[in-house]
Structure 1
Amino acid sequence: MLRSMYSGISGMKGFQEKLDVIGNNIANVNTTGFKKGRVTFQDMLSQTTTGASGPTDNRGGVNPSQVGLGSQVGTIDDLHTQGSSQRTDNPLDLQLEGDGMFAVEKPDETTAYTRAGNFYMDEDGDIVNADGYYLQGDGNGTDGELKIPDEATSINIEQNGTVTYVDEDGNIDKSQQIRIAQFSNPAGLEKTGNSLYTNTENAGLNTDNDDNLVEPEKNGAASIVSGALEMSNVDLSDEFTNMITAQRGFQANTRIITTSDEILQELVNLKR
């Protein structure tokens, strides 16, 4: 069978996967804290028909002759660039400006990470995300949880993560601080759904502290903006452009298969 037919099949598979990633990006264009994906391709093995040879006294060198056998998906990357800001004026809506992620504790006591900063207060005064996972920090909460009394007023989150409020006695309380996680390679994090990530061996979590969390605005860590949310970093114009190029690439590979089939048909008809 013709090698071009199998090359076309590999190209179709690759562009189909790229369209899947583009479709997911477009679906999450308004998802808080979402980071878009990107697909890169690599060439597959090449069949060598003639090897290379070096120059001799009587003859110059000869380059190798190789026929490629198609393409394959190289990587599917998450691009952790800063998303656009949306003002909400809700003091518990938090946006990270710079590198870092919020840490939340799940019911199984494992830690997950997110850029989605839409937090709430539950009945007990704990600061939680949309799934009820506790926002992690340092202060008078339990096991790193942040708690605001029911009678508190004038709640505010400072840029360094300090949680301030006026207690029932009229005193300003600044005993709690939100901590964030830093990663040298955030693209190495694994998506687990619900806008959450889990740590992997390749993410490069900063482990200088016992709880692996750092103070905002220190040593390159992000600052916190209260009353705003970080939106998706998906650019629709880029996604539609990528979708068109992927569609044309898919169509071109189908044409390779059609042309190869026509050639095979001519070979079959040679006996007639």
Structure 2
Amino acid sequence: MSIQSTMYTGAAGLGSHADAMGVIADNIANVNTVGFRASRANFSDVLGGIVAGDNIGAGSRIGSVQTMFSQGSLLGTGNASDLAISGDGFFVVEGAVNGIEGQYYSRAGQFRIDGDGFLVNADNLRVQGYGIDAGGTISASLDDLHLDAGTLPPIATTAISVDANLDATQAIDPTPFDINDPGGTSDWSTSLTTYDSLGVAHQVTMFFKKTADVPAQQWDVHVAVPGSEIDPAIAQDFAEVGTGTLDFDAVGSLAANSLGPINVQWAGAALAPLTVDLGDPTGTGGTGLGGITNYSGASASHFLDQDGSGSGELTGFEVQPDGTITGRYTTGESRSLGQLATATFSNVESLARTGNGLFATSLASQAPMIGGPGAAGRGSIVAGSLESSNVDLAQEFVTMIAVQRGFQANSRTITTADDMLTEIVSLKR
């Protein structure tokens, strides 16, 4: 090997170490980039020729730059649309990157809902997942996740449940119940809000009046609604829509209930058939408990419920570990809006880096295996968190020093070879 080739060998070493320093610089520059994956420069020797029958090297080069796909730390943000993957896998996004339309993969979960209701990343690429219909069935087709479900349709009330106690010591007032003066001619009342087919709220009031003490206590129940809210409307404050008699046994349990189904024609809405559950009468084989009781003590309602709801607007959402996205509405209702998709690869290190925290498939990486998080080796979703860069800053500084020393040593090779050339030139003098 000549002195000149020695200088070329040193120059090759300078170049490879400079390239390695570039990889280190890129890692350090992205130490705070969400979801960033550190790279490692792998040196490779270069064969220069044969001297005395032996192979002589000609320096080094960067044989490959390997992406390190180890898990980064998860940092809580409290933002519902910030998502991280704990374990293997990538978020799947779709759109144009550098003018190329396609599917891309990322560990960066800085998502938001755009003006059209789609879940997108920082570059407005749409996050992919599976839709869920009103019945809770998950679609098998991968598609853009659309979280603006619009107005949640109302649910008309069809059933009312009352859990209350009627005071067994209540004295009997012989004045008959009068719907025009329900408060003055009843012993106790309770109300709850119900909804018609259009989602309009209506108060349903039940007035209770004690009518008998012996041989067992007996109470009448009168179900009333606002007179101005029915069709046809009436001038009175209340319209009576149902009445029945409640019989209690000697231990205060409900023995019989004659209140049957009620039909209410709310103004402008569909006819509303209502059933009122006041308990399980012993006279029909029930326990007499779990509804209206007749014990000594103030009359009071313990629990009132109904199965309807008004229309609602989306106020926020939560993402479960399996990627299911649950929307919260102004009505207090919740509904599943979709499920995130994540992707794994048989040869993840062969993914092509495209910038902006994105990767694309290559021939070596093979096709992605896409499905719901938490299954088939795919990691689970951690909501309200972001995955930090997996760059180990301390290790990068250690590697930087080693590369710097290598660069200095290669430069010394060149200067030493140059001194040798100078010595040869001086032989002519």
Specify which of 104, 112, 115 is matched with residue 120 of structure 1. Answer: 112
Tell me, in whole angstroms, the C-alpha distance in 1 between the residues paired with 2:142 and 2:364: 27
Displacement of 1:205: 2.8
Tell me, in whole angstroms, the C-alpha distance in 2 between the residues paired with 1:102 and 1:148: 17
Tell me, in whole angstroms, the C-alpha distance in 2 between the residues paired with 1:137 and 1:266: 71
Under a length normalisation based on structure 2, what TM-score does the superposition of the two structures give? 0.57
Q: Deviations over 1:84-117 (max 9, x none)?
A: 1110011110001111111111146511111100
Displacement of 1:206: 3.2
Tell me, in whole angstroms, the C-alpha distance in 2 between the residues paired with 1:173 and 1:40: 50
Which residue in the other structure is 1:73 paired with? 62
In the TM superposition, what are the counterparts of 1:71-150 in structure 2 within 5 Å? 71-107=60-96, 109-140=101-132, 144-149=143-148
- What's the secondary structure of 2:143's corresponding residue? coil
Which residue in the other structure is 1:237 paired with? 394
Tell me, in whole angstroms, the C-alpha distance in 2 between the residues paired with 1:41 and 1:231: 27
Tell me, in whole angstroms, the C-alpha distance in 2 between the residues paired with 1:155 and 1:255: 62
Asked whether the equivalents of residues 165 and 174 of structure 1 are also in contact (C-alpha less than 8 Å), the reply is yes
Displacement of 1:169: 5.4
Change (3 A) 1:252 1:109: closer
Asked whether the equivalents of residues 91 and 157 of structure 1 are also in contact (C-alpha less than 8 Å), the reply is yes
Structure 1: runs of 5+ lacking an equivalent: 52-64, 208-212
Asked whether the equivalents of residues 86 and 380 of structure 2 are also in contact (C-alpha less than 8 Å), the reply is yes
The residue identity in structure 1 corresponding to 2:104 is A
Deviates most, 108-117 or 96-105: 108-117
Q: Does 1:217 align with 2:389?
A: no
Under a length normalisation based on structure 1, what TM-score does the superposition of the two structures give? 0.88
Deviates most, 133-142 or 183-192: 133-142
**Bigger proportion of residues as strand:** 2
Displacement of 1:147: 1.9
Which residue in the other structure is 1:24 paired with? 26
Displacement of 1:199: 1.1
The residue identity in structure 2 corresponding to 1:35 is R
Change (3 A) 1:5 1:109: closer
Displacement of 1:263: 0.6
Change (3 A) 1:66 1:205: same
The residue identity in structure 2 corresponding to 1:26 is I
In the TM superposition, what are the counterparts of 1:117-266 in structure 2 within 5 Å? 117-140=109-132, 144-149=143-148, 151-167=313-329, 170-207=332-369, 213-266=370-423
Asked whether the equivalents of residues 140 and 147 of structure 1 are also in contact (C-alpha less than 8 Å), the reply is no
- What's the secondary structure of 1:71's corresponding residue? strand
Identity of aligned pairs, percent? 41
Displacement of 1:172: 2.4
Deviates most, 110-119 or 169-178: 169-178
Deviates most, 6-15 or 131-140: 131-140
Asked whether the equivalents of residues 129 and 341 of structure 2 are also in contact (C-alpha less than 8 Å), the reply is yes
The residue identity in structure 1 corresponding to 2:397 is F
Displacement of 1:260: 0.4
Q: Deviations over 1:184-211 (max 9, x none)?
A: 222211111111111111113335xxxx
Tell me, in whole angstroms, the C-alpha distance in 1 between the residues paired with 2:330 and 2:131: 18
Asked whether the equivalents of residues 316 and 329 of structure 2 are also in contact (C-alpha less than 8 Å), the reply is no
Change (3 A) 1:67 1:217: same
Asked whether the equivalents of residues 78 and 187 of structure 1 are also in contact (C-alpha less than 8 Å), the reply is yes
Change (3 A) 1:140 1:174: closer
Specify which of 32, 37, 41 is matched with residue 35 of structure 1. Answer: 37
Q: Deviations over 1:25-64 (max 9, x none)?
A: 111000000000100111111422234xxxxxxxxxxxxx
**Bigger proportion of residues as helix:** 1
Asked whether the equivalents of residues 136 and 146 of structure 1 are also in contact (C-alpha less than 8 Å), the reply is yes
Which residue in the other structure is 1:210 paired with? none
Displacement of 1:140: 4.8
- CA RMSD between the two structures: 1.9
Which residue in the other structure is 1:57 paired with? none
Asked whether the equivalents of residues 44 and 63 of structure 2 are also in contact (C-alpha less than 8 Å), the reply is yes
Q: How many residues align?
A: 254
Structure 2: runs of 5+ lacking an equivalent: 134-140, 151-312
Tell me, in whole angstroms, the C-alpha distance in 1 between the residues paired with 2:424 and 2:359: 54
Asked whether the equivalents of residues 140 and 146 of structure 1 are also in contact (C-alpha less than 8 Å), the reply is no
Relative CO higher for 1 or 2, CA cutoff 8 Å, sep ≥ 6?
1
Deviates most, 143-152 or 153-162: 143-152
Specify which of 46, 50, 53 is matched with residue 52 of structure 2. Answer: 50
